[in-house]
A = this chain, B = another copy of it.
């Protein structure tokens, strides 16, 4: 006896079955087109047609319940306002959607990571991609029995995908050194976001290898935002002597730094060289265009997603070991040779 309830217009596999004159599981069988189960061509035909006529759409929620999978991924990033993370997310969404996965976006700036993780769990996401800051600021238990991939951090604790942060710092340092700079400042991150920290370290280490160092008053720590960059640069401009170059661990900082220079009448790069990191779109928009290190944000996201999906699918971890993704020096207009004369 069919309960024949037309209360809602939602058409279910049952409706399709009724119309095709088959049982409901048969509908499921043909629509999922599993090769290991054979169904008569005529039945298949009727089912397909009935489904089409009724405009049947399988209910992923129901399927998720029985399969114990939600076919959804969570991504939590520290700040979507940072174009870098936006690009990471895009990379994730690209590969996720190719596999029929949805992604639940979480911005830790809006809501705390704990709450996000809690939400993601109750929604039964099949896995999460996490920035290291959010990963660290969440209690152990919040990640228990969850498929996790962290981004922008090498880790033994979790699978990871990251760009070569230390290499980025090194490239920046080499570029500045080659331009003749000896008194170089750094605008580093205020919070211990691993990737930023490694950029800073790679930079300083390379300086050290060249028997150079960063004066302690020239190592400014600030939030990795435009505003942070402004504050850092204001402090730097007050220094005597003034450093001849500054490496900002991300482009947002560099943008802020540049802004302050222009406002203060400090010529970039004639009087001061500014170097960013990430190569966000805005780096090419400001004047002078920002010299920076191109970081494959999308690719980091894409790989993280692939790795996560593999784990979710119960596949073996991976055949090749994960390596930091290479970064690339992009020389534009905000860096130049060290000024020959000293100015006040």
Chain B residues with CB under 8 Å of A80's CB are: 86, 90
**A110 near B86: Cβ-Cβ < 8 Å:** no
Contact of A141 among B55, B60, B255, B286 (CB under 8 A): B55
Question: In the complex, A317→B115 CA distance in Å?
Answer: 30
Chain B residues with CB under 8 Å of A263's CB are: 287
**A61 near B287: Cβ-Cβ < 8 Å:** no
**B65 near A62: Cβ-Cβ < 8 Å:** yes
Chain B residues with CB under 8 Å of A282's CB are: 282, 285
Chain B residues with CB under 8 Å of A93's CB are: 105, 107, 110-111
**B122 near A58: Cβ-Cβ < 8 Å:** yes
**A119 near B107: Cβ-Cβ < 8 Å:** no
Question: In the complex, A105→B106 CA distance in Å?
Answer: 10
Q: Which B-chain residue is minimally distant from A262 (CB atoms)? A: B287
Q: A117 to nearest B CB, angstroms?
A: 11
Q: A226 to nearest B CB, angstroms?
A: 6
Chain A interface extent, by class: 35 or more
Question: In the complex, A64→B226 CA distance in Å?
Answer: 42
Asked if A281 is at the interface of the complex by the 8 Å CB criterion, the answer is yes
Stretch of A96-104, A178-186, A336-344 lying at the B interface:
A96-104
Asked if A276 is at the interface of the complex by the 8 Å CB criterion, the answer is no
Asked if A256 is at the interface of the complex by the 8 Å CB criterion, the answer is yes
Asked if A81 is at the interface of the complex by the 8 Å CB criterion, the answer is yes
Contact with B along A1-19 (1 / 0, CB 8 A): 0000000111000000000
Chain B residues with CB under 8 Å of A61's CB are: 61, 64-65, 70, 123-124
**A57 near B122: Cβ-Cβ < 8 Å:** yes
**B123 near A97: Cβ-Cβ < 8 Å:** no
Contact with B along A246-266 (1 / 0, CB 8 A): 000000000110010011000
**What are 17 inter-chain pairs, A to B, with CB distance below 8 A?**
A57-B118, A60-B122, A61-B65, A61-B123, A61-B124, A62-B65, A80-B90, A81-B86, A86-B86, A90-B110, A97-B110, A97-B115, A102-B123, A104-B104, A226-B281, A259-B285, A259-B287
Nearest 6 Cβ contacts at the A-B interface: A262-B287, A60-B122, A61-B64, A105-B105, A61-B124, A60-B123
